[in-house]
Structure 1
Amino acid sequence: MNHIDGISSEQDLVIQKARKRIIESIGNNMDLYSVSQSTGHLYGLLLFQEKPMTLDEMGKAMEMSKTSMSTGVRTLVDLKMVNKVWEKGSRKDLYEVESDWFQTFADFFGLKWRKALEVNLLALTKSKNEFRKLNEQFPDNVSLQAVLKGDLDKIDAAIHYYKWLDRLIDSFESGDIFKLVPKDLPSEES
């Protein structure tokens, strides 16, 4: 990271040390977002920039190749954690952190859980239909009926859960979640 103009070397050292601690922490915890540690460090680097950065600038700051930076940035853009921005006079792509962390989480939650929900609901529905057909084919088999009833009860409970989860994901995607749990935005006094 570069020296900040207008402050002493000692002040700059404290700032850089504190920023590095945060960047390391972000990198270490980005696995929650299925993101590598180095991509998390990239996110942390972008977080503390006053202006958008190019892939070359990121590569130089992190001492990594442009290819690695490109892969990391693409991951962060796909997760809506970083935005590609346009700047007059620049021919290179520029990137900056999405400033609304609340929306970043909501977007990520929606992307990841929607996919899991759809896969699981499909499996549950398919299995439920197979069990119903088996149930209809062998109505007199008491042992089979008992097993199928138990499994169908479990499948129904799971389907109810996934329907609830679908509504929860809808609330994240629509922003309604923030009516239930308002964003805690910093005040002037913070």
Structure 2
Amino acid sequence: MAENEQLSNESKINQAEKEVINAIAETMDLYGITPSIGRLYATMYFKQNPMTLDEMKDELGMTKPSMSTAVRNLQEINIVRKVWQKGSRKDHFVAEKNFFNYFNRFFGGKWKREADINLFAIKQAEDQLLEVIENEKDDEHLLERARQDLEQLEEYKQYCYWLQQLVDSIESGEIFDFLPINNSGR
């Protein structure tokens, strides 16, 4: 009976892990990752030791070149990293297990890029629009259009500054003062 109970408990653990693996795989599109690559990350998440490409291939039934591409994609978004294993010439990889760290690096980096690129473009546009306002003497329609564009850009600029503050608060950890990490699950 103990053997059957052990098998049943192992089956329950496998089923629990499978539930989460499927959910993670399904939602990885948020990060630009396909479900199959998401399944690899989620599988690695439950592994307590780093995995080689061969181990990944065996676990997921994919080809080694597919595993290599998948790992590279996961490395690019900083959710998997290569680790050194003493006595082994093979590459070993480990999944990021702290989702708050991952959230910070992934979304913080994307939002910072969005704010920086758009603030630069807004500055360029403002300079051109101000030049139109200073130099246009005859066409009231163009003047009004330039003024309206400047007003809209001012609102857009506020969003970009807010986004920069959000990124700063994530990077500094200050965001957790406003949105504390609690373990109560709501």
TM-score (norm 1): 0.87
**Aligned equivalent of 1:149:** 147
Which one-letter code corresponds to 2:107 in the other structure? F
Structure 1 runs (4+) greater than 3 angstroms displaced: none
Q: Which amino acid aligns with 2:73?
A: T
Equivalent residue in structure 2 for 1:72, among 70, 73, 97 = 70
Confirm or deny: 8 A CA contact 1:102 1:183 kept in the other structure: no
What is the one-letter code of the residue matched to 2:139? Answer: N
Stretches of structure 1 that go unaligned for 5 or more consecutive residues are 1-6
Q: CA offset at residue 97 of structure 1? A: 1.6
SS of residue in 2 equivalent to 1:8? helix
Find the counterpart in structure 2 of residue 119 from structure 1.
Answer: 117
Q: Could you say which structure has the higher helix fraction? A: 2
CA distance in 2, matches of 1:20, 1:37: 14
Distance 2:63 2:53 in 1: 9
CA separation in 2, counterparts of 1:115 and 1:19? 35
- CA shift, 1:180, in A, is 2.7
1:27 is matched with: 25
Aligned to 1:85: 83
Counterpart residue number, 2:180: 182
Please give the residue correspondences for 1:133-148 in structure 2 after superposition, counting only pairs within 5 Å. 133-148=131-146
Deviations 1:135-181 (A, max 9, x none): 11114532222211111000011011101111211222222222332
Question: Under a length normalisation based on structure 2, what TM-score does the superposition of the two structures give?
Answer: 0.88
> 1:72: Cα distance to partner?
1.5
Kept after mapping to 2: 8 A contact 1:86/1:93: yes
Could you tell me how far apart the structure 2 residues matched to 1:137 and 1:165 are? 34
Render the CA deviation track for 1:112-146: whole Å, top value 9, x for unaligned: 11222222222222222111111111145322222
CA distance in 1, matches of 2:11, 2:133: 72
- Report the secondary structure of 2:50's partner residue: coil
Partner of 1:42: 40
Aligned-CA RMSD value: 2.1
- Most deviating of 84-93 and 151-160: 84-93
How many residues are treated as equivalent by the alignment?
182
Q: Structure 1 stretch 61-70 or stretch 117-126: which is displaced more?
A: 117-126
Deviation readout 1:42-87 (Å, 9 max, x if unpaired): 1110011121101110011111112211222122222221222222
CA distance in 2, matches of 1:184, 1:102: 12
Percent identity between the aligned chains? 38
